[in-house]
Structures are given as C-alpha cells and as structure tokens.
Amino acid sequence: MGIIEITAWHYAGFIAAVLVFLALDLGVFHREAHVVKFREALAWTALWFAMAMCFAGLVKAFRPRGEAIEFVTGYIIELSLSMDNVFVIALIFAYFRVPLAHQHRVLFWGILGALVMRGVMIGAGAALIKQFHWMLYVMGGFLIFTGVKMLFVDDDGVHPEKNLIIKLAKRFFPVTHDFDGQHFTAKLDGRTALTPLALVLVMVETTDLIFAVDSIPAIFAVTQNTFIVFTSNVFAILGLRSLYFVLAGAIGYFRYLKIGLSLVLVFIGVKMLLGIWEIQIRSGVSLIVVAAIILVSMGISIWAARREGKPLPE
C-alpha cells in the first residue's frame, strides 16, 4: 500500500473519532450512574487495547516501516506509567469519599481535560526538541532522576489543602458540603457553588498534569514523530478510565508495580542519554524491555498476594 503523508486533516479526523467514542461512552453506555464492576472494567480495557492495536495495524499499512512499533512501544510506555496515576486517583476518591457510582463521570471529564493538556504539552515538547535537540538529553536525565526518586522515596498521600488550584477554586467559588448526585455545581444561598465532586475533578486534572511531566518526555525517547506521540498518548488516556476500575479493585495485588515503573523510567532515561554517543536502542528492543519489566513486576506482585491468600477481585 502507498505511504500516506500525515496532514492536519488526519489529526482532525482522529480527534473527531475520539470525540464520537467519548460521546457514545458517556451518552449511551454510561448514561445512568452505576458502579463499574471489575469484569465490566476488564472488558472495556480489552476493548480499548484492541482498538489501539487496530490503529497500529493501520499505521503499519499506510506509514513507513517502524512507525507501528514506535506507536505500540509508546502506547505501552504511556499505559504503564498511567498505572501509577491510577493509584493516586484511588487515593483522591477515598479522601473525598466519592460514591462508586459517580467515579466514572469524574474520570470521563478528567480524561477529556487531560487530552487537551497533553495535546498542548506534546506540541510544545516537539517544537522545543526541534529547536534545541539537546533537550532530549535533559529529559533523559530528568527521567532517571524521577525513576530513582520513585524507587526510594515513598509518597506521603494526597493533600488537597496544599493544592494551589483547589485553594483558588475555594477562594473564588463557594463550595457545598455534600455531593449533589453527579453534578459539579449546585445552588447555595441563591449562588452557583461548586460541589465536592468538582474539587475531585480539579485534583484529578492536576494529578494528570504532574504525571504528564514524566510520561511525555518518556515517549519522546521512542520517537519524535508528533502524530505517533499524540495518538499513542490518546489511546493510553482513553484506556485509563477502565484501567482504573481494574486496578483500583486490585491495588493489593500490585505492590511491586511501582518498582517496575521506576525501572522503566530509568531505562528510558538511559536510552535517551545514550544518544550523546550516538548509541541507538531499537524501538522493538525497547518494547520488549518495557513490557518485560512491567509483566515481571505485576507477576511477582500477584504471586506474593496469592501467597498471602488475598481473594481475587470480582
């Protein structure tokens, strides 16, 4: 098949397709609030993964050789790093005592906002690297630092009172004490007020922004092709909602996953720094290494949990 040159129309078509899928998700499949069970979430995770692999097939058919591998590698990296974000989101939901039936709505709008933020960050990052190639090595060093820090420094929990955006929201808007169903705003003394669910959404958005600082430089280690970087990010984010409901119900099974994620960041950082000496690690090799690290860390985690007799989530 002939090679297709990527234009603005391809970006527009991809974004339009994503918006259609999101509209179907919220307007049809999750129109009524309900608790997303483990098996339902697992099915949705498999569906989003299958769609990502179908897109990889299209890339392989219509783009130069190697870009499909770059897409899959970037997708696996982004999806893997999203797992750590999932556990933080679980802490946020627990802190605010968000009802299970309303969590999907928060994730939907949170991820919609994340798509916009990451699109801007990817565009800015690509322009920066094009202008200053040495920024790749700065990113590599940053990823190694982040990976080592993740390995040896424990998180100290979720602290909404320290979140600058939360402080600003409370300063300019009144906030209700109780949830009002799935609504982000409500009336309080005749004024429009934010509900606690809106504050949760703000926390989820800012958390994703923080994690994007790690994940976006990581994928630039695989490719500087903006279309591949953008599409792999989008597919990973789309799968994050269902992945949350899969992993949140099985957090006790993945105690060693954080070690695996830190090793992934260090590996990617080293890969970027090797470019200083013009040493290249092929995308296929990177894919194998990243997938192996994540699978081994998850396998050991599940083995340890099963030894302790922890029940499987339902």
CA angle 233, 238, 240 (to 5 degrees): 95
Other C-beta atoms closer than 10 Å to the C-beta of 60 total 17
pLDDT in tens, 153-193: 766 566 777 777 788 888 888 888 888 888 888 887 778 88
Indicate whether 1 pLDDT > 60. Answer: no
Q: Output the CA–CA distances (angstroms, integers) from residue 243 to 19, 61, 90, 153, 311, in the order listed.
A: 19, 28, 12, 25, 19
Indicate whether 11 pLDDT > 70. Answer: yes
Higher pLDDT, 29 or 105: 105
Q: Which two tokens stand for residue 214?
A: 């790690």
Q: What is the pLDDT of residue 110?
A: 84
Identity of the residue numbered 60: K
Band the pLDDT of 29: cuts 50, 70, 90: low
pTM: 0.84
pLDDT in tens, 230-263: 999 999 888 887 888 777 666 667 778 888 888 9
Fill in the DSSP letter of residue 281.
-
Indicate whether 144 pLDDT > 60. Answer: yes
Higher pLDDT, 220 or 249: 220
Q: Residue 277: CA atoms inside 13 Å, Cβ hemisphere, count?
A: 6
Indicate whether 52 pLDDT > 90. Answer: yes
CA distance 253 to 250: 5
Average pLDDT, whole number, for the chain?
A: 83
Q: Residue 296: CA atoms inside 13 Å, Cβ hemisphere, count?
A: 11
Instruction: Please name the helix (run of DSSP H) or strand (run of DSSP E) that holds residue 194, with its range, or none.
Output: strand 191-194
